[in-house]
A and B are shown apart, each in its own frame.
Chain A
């Protein structure tokens, strides 16, 4: 006899509200239904009522974790419509901010994953590490969450002494290599909770068109930083970690390796930063009529913004946002099929879901 077990919309295993109804036979999940919309704020409609300055502040609030990425993607699209290009130094600052955001997002995810595994010491270790990244973000931008760094044609704040940030990167990488990665990869607790669990096969990952670490953990080697470089990524040398197993452990490995790659990119960007202006914007922006689309590799995967402007308007006519969790979330249904009920909180968390992004 099958029965339905709801997880959410409010559940200790969820960072934000959504609902996963699991149809179980005994302890085994045979199917699942997803319900989202609990964070719906109508942001796409609100964007049509904001001018080109206000809309940046609004879209920064789509997501608390990757707020910089949202303004970066929006500003890149708006730059295509205005014909402006951010100066080289601003492009480097954008790379640095984006990688710091990826670091704090991945370390936060590692902490939450550890908590869901019942590994609370590791949760504390990860959050202590994340604080170090947050301190740097605050030192650069003055803020811990919504950084207000981007505007059309550049960035709002310079990094005056980039080399001073290198010891922090070294310290973070050392701690990851010494503590977090060995424990996640070798401890029997982590292995028993993650290996062979929540498998998303390569075929299903292709069919669901998943993105980011979720795709790379199922053998899909895609990363916009390499495949369609933006900001100063074309000048960075880095690897794109790919795993084949498609289970929770593979998703964990991919993120752990991406932390190391982010440290590597950060060191390059800090060392190569060209002197010069951080903005090319004049006093008044003139937008061309039409649509521009921009994509960025966020910590969770590809973010897309389609921005449409009408002549002589201060407001966008349409802003459409496709976030990575929106692409990844439907695949959770396939990940939990056949899983034990007790593993499902960790499985759904393994895509690092963000429902504020998804619902908008």
Chain B
């Protein structure tokens, strides 16, 4: 597909797109997630979602960003090294892709991953007071996040 090749060239990625189980995957190499979001916007791709995976041990996380381009599902994985609050960070694309707002908040809540360059509104899905207690193998330790309002407080 010409559009896919244009995207790859725009990002300066040497490796080709690889089709696997119906999804086209691209290893982003040195390209950042914000460069990717800008390239997707200019190609007219529709943001779909971010899927977060916790890697074994201290290996950190893998975030798979998905866009739809003319009916093709595109996937671009990004690695986050480490699980501590200092290392579990990635740039937010919320200002480039408004549709990423809720899923960034959800991943932040489920895995205690910090999307830098944005502010968080109160917890969206999990009632309670601390991000990173929902989908991580072990609850995030030493999380400096301030206490956030629980469900009942939001409801009032």
* Chain A neighbourhood of B73, CB < 8 A: 228, 293, 295, 304
* Chain A neighbourhood of B71, CB < 8 A: 222, 224, 227-228
Q: Shortest distance in angstroms between B73's beta carbon and chain A's nearest beta carbon?
A: 6
* Chain B neighbourhood of A228, CB < 8 A: 71-73
Q: Shortest distance in angstroms between A321's beta carbon and chain B's nearest beta carbon?
A: 9
Task: Report yes or no: B125 in contact with A36, Cβ–Cβ below 8 A.
Answer: yes
Question: Which of the segments A39-47, A56-64, A91-99, A344-352 contacts the partner chain?
Answer: A39-47
Task: Report yes or no: B49 in contact with A322, Cβ–Cβ below 8 A.
Answer: yes
A9 at the B interface (CB under 8 A): yes
Q: Shortest distance in angstroms between A310's beta carbon and chain B's nearest beta carbon?
A: 10
> In chain B, what residue has the closest Cβ to A35?
B154
Q: For residues 316 through 360 of chain A, which have their beta carbon under 8 Å from a beta carbon of chain B? A: 317-318, 320, 322, 326-327, 329-330, 359-360
Task: Report yes or no: A37 in contact with B22, Cβ–Cβ below 8 A.
Answer: no
Task: Report yes or no: A293 in contact with B99, Cβ–Cβ below 8 A.
Answer: no
A132 at the B interface (CB under 8 A): no
Q: Shortest distance in angstroms between A245's beta carbon and chain B's nearest beta carbon?
A: 21
Query: Contact partner of A306 among B47, B51, B70, B72, CB < 8 A?
Result: B51
> Contacts A318-B53, A326-B102 hold; do A293 and B155 have CB atoms under 8 A apart?
no
* Chain B neighbourhood of A302, CB < 8 A: 48, 68
Interface size for B (C-beta < 8 A) is 38
B113 at the A interface (CB under 8 A): no
Task: Report yes or no: B103 in contact with A37, Cβ–Cβ below 8 A.
Answer: no
Most buried by A among B66, B68, B126, B134: B68
* Chain A neighbourhood of B20, CB < 8 A: 290
* Chain B neighbourhood of A37, CB < 8 A: 123-127, 151, 154
Q: Shortest distance in angstroms between A325's beta carbon and chain B's nearest beta carbon?
A: 11
Task: Report yes or no: B64 in contact with A327, Cβ–Cβ below 8 A.
Answer: no
Q: For residues 60 through 109 of chain B, which have their beta carbon under 8 Å from a beta carbon of chain A? A: 64, 66, 68, 70-73, 75, 97-99, 101-103
With the chains together, A178 CA to B67 CA distance in Å? 41
With the chains together, A224 CA to B51 CA distance in Å? 20
Task: Report yes or no: A36 in contact with B124, Cβ–Cβ below 8 A.
Answer: yes
Q: For residues 23 through 68 of chain A, which have their beta carbon under 8 Å from a beta carbon of chain B? A: 33, 35-38, 40, 42, 44-45
Q: Shortest distance in angstroms between B36's beta carbon and chain A's nearest beta carbon?
A: 15
* Chain B neighbourhood of A306, CB < 8 A: 51, 64, 66
Task: Report yes or no: B99 in contact with A209, Cβ–Cβ below 8 A.
Answer: yes
Q: What is the 8 Å Cβ interface bit string for chain A, positions 1-33, against chain B (1 contact, 0 not)?
A: 000000001000000000100000000000001
With the chains together, A304 CA to B46 CA distance in Å? 14
Q: What is the 8 Å Cβ interface bit string for chain B, positions 135-156, against chain A (1 contact, 0 not)?
A: 1000000000000000100110
19 contacts between A and B (CB under 8 A): A19-B154, A35-B122, A42-B134, A80-B21, A207-B98, A209-B46, A209-B48, A222-B71, A290-B20, A291-B21, A293-B22, A294-B22, A302-B68, A306-B51, A306-B64, A318-B51, A320-B49, A326-B103, A327-B99
